[in-house]
């Protein structure tokens, strides 16, 4: 309305309240201020983050209740970029392809399952999405196969990492701008990583005693972060400091490595990590390797009881539409050489679908309930 009266607001006043998705428990509220939201928006617009400019047409394929659609509804108006919303059909590949082409979308953001749906439609229909230049993938690990399929359509893929408690962006992988520095194999490994922390976010990894670990790409431990848009406590749970291991640092609940170039790689969630014979197994790396198989649509790994090793990995697979004949033995054979031998799943179970949250994340809590009686033999 031309008669709208802009209110006078203090920068530290409350701006928005979003709840964590609750994949491992009850959702908790994170309250953002105008100041934290504005600073986060500035940071996400930087070239090596989301790189949002006035010329862009941005399609956030994430709901507004999911960390304010990753902050795009704030960053895009600041830049003057056009915003396109998919409504209730954000998971429908045909609708997304039509919307991208009609609105000339240049940048989009969404979880991996969204891109699986879009790619399936493009392959089936023969359509293209020529205006689309780049996408941001977050919310879950993105298989290399998705990135390489998008490459064939001329679409660059950037992995981002963050969480509701971080407004959400914490890191972004801009390795695509340095493609010529790497061999094909090194670039494939690099682009799977969550990228470097964006300016304003500090990170460190620590061991069980809270001792800082080296950035060598080998040591992995609990990931801690801090910054002006990282939450200090949960809404109406201010007395709870369970998320803080060290004053001023937020404990993310992720297990990670950081290499000498500052690239972050998430290896697991603390609550999802599989400890077999006293050693950690990265479920994310096993899942990524499994989804490289052309007849695997989705995969998830959980730990199940083993009388000798305490627990061992169980691989749960959703077959692709043209892979109904693929066997467990074929999938396990495809993992050889891609993961450590002792990471090899002890079994493969096939399901019609994996349980997801409303934002597209796999609900491992439900999977563990579903396979709660599963046990391996010694």
Which candidate in 181, 236, 275, 308 is catalytic?
275
Give the H/E segment covering residue 257: strand 250-258
167 Ramachandran zone, left/alpha/beta (phi>0; psi -120 to 50): left
pLDDT of residue 183: 93
pLDDT for the residue numbered 164: 92
How far is it, in rounded angstroms, from Cα 52 to Cα 162? 18
Catalytic residue list contains 6: no
Q: Which of the 8 DSSP states describes residue 280?
A: E
SS3 track for 58-121: EEECCCCCCHHHHCHHHHHHHHCCEECCCHHHCCCHHHHHHHHHHHCCCEEEECHHHHHHHHHH
H-state helical runs in 142-269: 144-151, 184-191
**In this structure, are residues 135 and 109 in contact, taking their beta carbons and an 8 Å threshold?**
yes
pLDDT at 265: 94
What is the pLDDT at residue 242?
A: 46
* Residue 35: how many other CB atoms lie within 10 Å: 15
Cα distance between residue 163 and residue 316, in whole Å: 25
pLDDT of residue 281: 86
CA atoms within 13 A on the CB side of 368: 16
The catalytic position among 123, 280, 338, 357 is 280
In whole angstroms, give the CA distance from residue 43 to residue 172.
11
Distance in angstroms (rounded) separating the CA atoms of residues 183 and 170: 27
Query: What pLDDT does 363 receive?
Result: 87
| pLDDT, position 186 | 93
Q: pLDDT at position 30, please?
A: 94
Tens-level pLDDT at each residue, the chain (378 residues)? 889 998 999 999 999 999 886 555 678 899 999 999 999 999 999 999 999 999 999 999 988 888 899 999 999 999 999 999 998 877 799 999 999 999 999 999 998 889 989 999 999 999 999 999 999 999 878 888 899 999 999 999 999 999 999 999 999 999 988 889 999 999 999 999 999 999 999 999 999 899 999 999 999 899 999 999 999 888 988 655 445 556 789 999 899 999 999 999 998 877 777 878 767 788 888 998 999 999 999 999 999 988 888 889 999 999 998 889 999 999 999 999 999 898 999 999 999 999 987 777 788 888 989 998 888 876
Choosing from 20, 24, 95, 357, which is the catalytic residue? 20
Catalytic residue, from 115, 165, 252, 298: name it: 165
pLDDT of residue 24: 52
Q: Catalytic annotation on 165?
A: yes
In the annotation, is 95 catalytic? no
Question: Is-catalytic flag, 308?
Answer: no
Q: What is the Cα–Cα distance from 18 to 73, expressed in whole angstroms?
A: 14
CA distance 315 to 295: 14
């Amino acid at each position: 309305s031309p008669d709208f009266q802009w209110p006078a607001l203090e920068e530290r006043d409350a701006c928005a309240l979003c709840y964590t998705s609750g994949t491992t428990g009850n959702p908790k509220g994170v309250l953002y201020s105008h100041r934290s939201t504005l600073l986060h928006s500035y940071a996400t617009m930087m070239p090596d983050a989301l790189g949002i400019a006035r010329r862009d047409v941005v399609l956030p394929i994430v709901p507004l209740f999911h960390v304010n659609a990753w902050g795009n509804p704030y960053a895009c108006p600041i830049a003057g970029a056009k915003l396109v919303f998919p409504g209730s059909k954000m998971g429908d590949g045909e609708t997304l392809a039509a919307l991208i082409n009609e609105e000339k979308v240049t940048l989009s953001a969404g979880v991996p399952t969204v891109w699986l749906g879009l790619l399936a439609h493009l392959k089936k229909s023969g359509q293209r999405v020529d205006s689309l230049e780049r996408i941001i993938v977050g919310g879950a690990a993105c298989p290399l196969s998705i990135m390489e399929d998008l490459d064939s359509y001329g679409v660059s893929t950037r992995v981002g990492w963050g969480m509701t408690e971080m407004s959400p962006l914490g890191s972004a992988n801009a390795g695509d701008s340095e493609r010529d520095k790497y061999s094909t194999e090194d670039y494939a490994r690099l682009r799977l990583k969550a990228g470097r922390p964006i300016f304003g976010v500090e990170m460190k990894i620590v061991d069980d005693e809270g001792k800082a670990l080296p950035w060598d790409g080998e040591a992995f431990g609990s990931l801690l972060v801090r910054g002006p848009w990282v939450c200090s406590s949960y809404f109406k749970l201010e007395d709870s400091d369970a998320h803080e291991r060290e004053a001023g640092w937020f404990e993310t609940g992720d297990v990670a490595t950081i290499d000498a170039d500052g690239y972050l790689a998430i290896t697991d969630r603390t609550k999802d990590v599989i400890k077999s014979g006293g050693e950690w197994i990265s479920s994310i790396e096993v899942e990524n390797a499994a989804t490289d198989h052309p007849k695997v649509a989705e995969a998830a790994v959980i730990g199940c009881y083993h009388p000798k090793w305490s627990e061992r990995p169980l691989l749960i697979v959703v077959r692709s539409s043209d892979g109904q004949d693929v066997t467990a033995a074929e999938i396990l054979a495809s993992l050889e050489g891609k993961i450590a031998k002792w990471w090899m799943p002890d079994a493969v179970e096939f399901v019609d679908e994996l349980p997801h949250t409303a934002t597209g994340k796999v609900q491992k809590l439900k999977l563990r309930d579903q396979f709660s009686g599963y046990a391996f033999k010694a």
